Amino acid sequence: MELNIDLEKEKKEILASYRALLRVAKYSKSSEDKKQIRKAFDVALEAHKDMRRKSGEPYIYHPIAVARIVAEEIGLGTTAIIAALLHDTVEDTDITLSDVEHLFGKKVCQIIDGLTKISDIFDHTASIQAENFKKMLLTLSDDVRVILIKLADRLHNMRTLESMRRDKQLKIASETQYMYAPLAHRLGLYSIKSELEDLALKYTEPEQYEEIVQKLKKGQAVRTRFINRFKLPIVRSLDREGFKYSIKSRPKSISSIWNKIYKKNIPFEEIYDLFAIRIILDTPPEKEKADCWKVYSIVTDFYQPNPDRIRDWISTPKANGYESLHTTVMSPTGKWVEVQIRTERMDEIAEMGYAAHWKYKDKQEGESKLDVWLARIREMLETNNAAAIDFIDDFKLNLFSDEIFVFTPNGDLKTLPSGATALDFAFEIHSQVGQSCIGAKVNQRLVPLSHSLKSGDQIEIITSKKQRPKEDWLNYVVTAKAKSKIKSALKEEQKKIAGLGKEMVQRRFKNIGAEFNSKNVSVLERFYGYKAATDLYHDIAKGKISLKKFKDFVIDSGEISFPKEEEEIIQNTDPGPKSSSPIPKDTLIIGEDEMDVPYKLAQCCNPIPGDDVFAFVTINDGIKIHRNKCPNAVQLRSNFAYRVIKATWQSQKEKEFVAEVIFKGIDDLGLVHNITQTISADLNVNMKAISFESNDGVFDGRVSVYVYDTDHLNNLMSKLRNVEGVLTVSRGEAYSKDA
């Protein structure tokens, strides 16, 4: 079917979009800037002229939209706008990097090259993905604009995700949650980070997302009246004191509300910080700190502050440059309200992250926090030889973490993630100090390596030349740097020990007249139940495996084989691959071709008919079915998208599935009887297991039941909610790793 497209109308709309871009490009006002942007627009328009997006609109709308985000929401200048307009040309059109360099110079060419290298960061295989991720970070440490444009590109893709297929939506939304939102957070782009998380939630949890949106809309008028009453006395005082200021109210992001409702089990009505009041001062740099504390004093004259909820990020800014003074105060109606106090400079940095930092960088002394963070990334990349996914998980550890501020014996300030230990601090000083650390003194008191640090602690590290990193150290550290250094050191140590074990095997083979070759080593691996020779050699050297049984092997022309009775035992007892659950038949159609193939149900989320599910091709265990809400779904779709297959249930009532139901309530005589009566007698549902725990008049219960599908389960949960004394009923999740 051909679309009736009004080309003249489209041309006018494209030109209008371009003019709107120029209007918001506040750092590109010179005639030379405008000339260069126009040239980039013309090149992109010509290069993409025959291309359309999934929605049917001309492709050029996408680069213009990305350039607009870069200019308006991140606050970058001409070079970044040009790179954003051209960001897809080298990959998708006939234009080459040398063309870009010839037309726009070396810097634009470098940024486009960086964007092209990381364009398929989450595609193909896990190892390629990790390599591309490393490339992205290396490019990021050369020019941070590469990742800022990439984030703008992802934000526009998320804003226009409606036209994609459901499986594509889930894949892109999962990637966004997994990597892009944390990167936006780390670079200080809070509004972009929140929007990315909200849009990802819109596609991964559409029903819950819509429910929260409707509840927020419903309460909007009440909240507006409340805010106006709350800020009235503050406004009068600020006017009397002669402050120049503005006051905004910021609603809490939908994803953070969802986290509280579904992860912390707090009802929507009980979330007290649905919004925050932000007071933004227009004040000179030398008076910023004093004026912010004066405003804090005015706010707390009217409203009682919560002493546990004050955050001073003006004296010690976050590692990504965020500065603000936060307090939570009690309103006259008994509601807690978060108040944020900052200056216009601080607000610009909070909204636009490091893009705004560059504007103020010349006025700052010493090394920028961004430079320090990028230097850490580079160090991690140069020393990290871990598996692809390990590297990404370790890196992610420090993207979202809150921070503490601690001191060296000389009084130097160090920033660490919340929960960091004395051992993390040792590795922060230097990797050699970490590897030889035997203990620490915190505030002059001797503490173990696993001691958790608090803001304000002063730490002295005690070392020994004889110390070597140990396996359990990985349980003591939270920073990516420490984890990566410990893993590298352990691997080196393991290689040395494995080398000794290999020599022991070689000598024993020689003694019994066997050849030392891969075939004989494979027999040995199978005999002792190892998948890799290195692990086998390591355990032989450590004395975990005895070589005394070598004399029982059958040797024929230098080749070894199992003793006959051992072979029979292995054949009779080998259970084969472990199944996560029985293989049901005729319950799912898998893939685009609607195949009927064997599969297993993943134990990490226990899907049942009616659940929104996907199929995942494992390496050793066939196809496993996961719920889209599985705790591992985001990671699986992000890291292994090429192994995810569409799956949908057929309607069937022949097979029962195990589902877990969790309930809480007020402990009462006969309550257990009423619950079991409802389940087994009233609904004829069979129970697999049931447990109750009572504590100070409140009970927690779990029951595993056999159900046919989600309708059957929802009916049961609805009946349980009507049992007197039961307050909440929810479906259980098993948070074990299962891929």
Domain residue limits, the chain: 7-202, 213-361, 488-573, 588-649, 657-731
Compute the Cα dihedral for 102, 107, 111, 114 and give only its sign.
Answer: positive
Rounded to 5, what percent of the chain is helix, strand, coil? 50, 15, 30
92 is catalytic: yes
List the catalytic residue out of 42, 46, 91, 693: 91
497 vs 512: CA distance, rounded Å: 23
600's enclosing H/E stretch is strand 600-601
Q: What is the pLDDT of residue 293?
A: 95
Cα dist from 180 to 232, 248, 335, 395, whole Å: 39, 27, 34, 13
Residues with Cβ < 8 Å from 581, sequence gap 6 or more? Answer: 600, 601, 603
Q: What is the pLDDT of residue 573?
A: 39
How many CB atoms sit inside 10 A of residue 598's CB? 10
Query: Could you report how far apart the first and last alpha carbons of the chain are, in Å?
Result: 42
Burial 67-84 (b: 16+ CB within 10 A, else e): bbbbbbbbbbbbbbbbbb
Q: Is residue 104 a contact partner of residue 112, using CB atoms and an 8 Å limit?
A: no
Q: Across-strand partners of 660?
A: 704
638 vs 644: CA distance, rounded Å: 10
Q: What is the pLDDT of residue 672?
A: 76
Q: What is the pLDDT of residue 343?
A: 93
659 vs 600: CA distance, rounded Å: 15
Question: Over the chain (739 residues), what is each successive 10-residue block's mean pLDDT?
Answer: 65 87 82 88 86 83 91 84 88 84 86 71 43 52 74 91 86 82 78 91 90 86 88 93 90 85 77 81 92 94 88 82 88 85 88 58 45 56 48 51 76 80 90 87 85 86 84 83 84 82 82 78 77 78 70 70 49 39 51 65 83 82 84 79 77 65 78 76 68 76 80 82 84 50
258 vs 211: CA distance, rounded Å: 10
Tell me if 7-202 shares its fold with 657-731: no
Which long-range contacts does 423-426 make (Cβ < 8 Å, 24+ apart)?
423/449, 423/450, 423/473, 423/476, 423/477, 423/482, 424/453, 424/477, 424/478, 424/479, 424/482, 425/453, 425/459, 425/461, 426/461, 426/463, 426/482
263 vs 184: CA distance, rounded Å: 22
The two tokens of residue 662 are: 């969790």
Model pTM?
A: 0.59
Residues with Cβ < 8 Å from 469, sequence gap 6 or more? Answer: 434, 435, 485, 486, 489, 490, 493
Residues with Cβ < 8 Å from 700, sequence gap 6 or more? Answer: 662, 663, 664, 692, 693
Residue 467 Ramachandran class (φ > 0 left, ψ -120 to 50 alpha, else beta): beta
Q: What is the pLDDT of residue 736?
A: 35
Q: What is the pLDDT of residue 466?
A: 81
How many CB atoms sit inside 10 A of residue 23's CB? 10
Burial 679-707 (b: 16+ CB within 10 A, else e): beeeeebeeeebeeeeeeeebebebbbeb
Q: What is the pLDDT of residue 119?
A: 56
Q: Is 670 helix (H, G, I), strand (E, B) or coil?
A: coil
In CATH, which superfamily holds the domain spanning 657-731?
ACT domain (3.30.70.260)
How many CB atoms sit inside 10 A of residue 549's CB? 12
Tokens 């891969």 label which residue?
A: 518
List the catalytic residue out of 13, 57, 92, 101: 92
CATH class for the region spanning 7-202: mainly alpha
91 is catalytic: yes
CATH class for the region spanning 213-361: alpha beta
Q: What is the pLDDT of residue 682?
A: 58
Q: Is 367 helix (H, G, I), strand (E, B) or coil?
A: coil
**Burial of 301 (C-beta count, 10 Å sphere; 0-12/13-18/19+):** exposed
Least Cα distance to 648 among 607, 598, 590 occurs for: 590
Q: Is residue 406 a contact partner of residue 394, using CB atoms and an 8 Å limit?
A: no
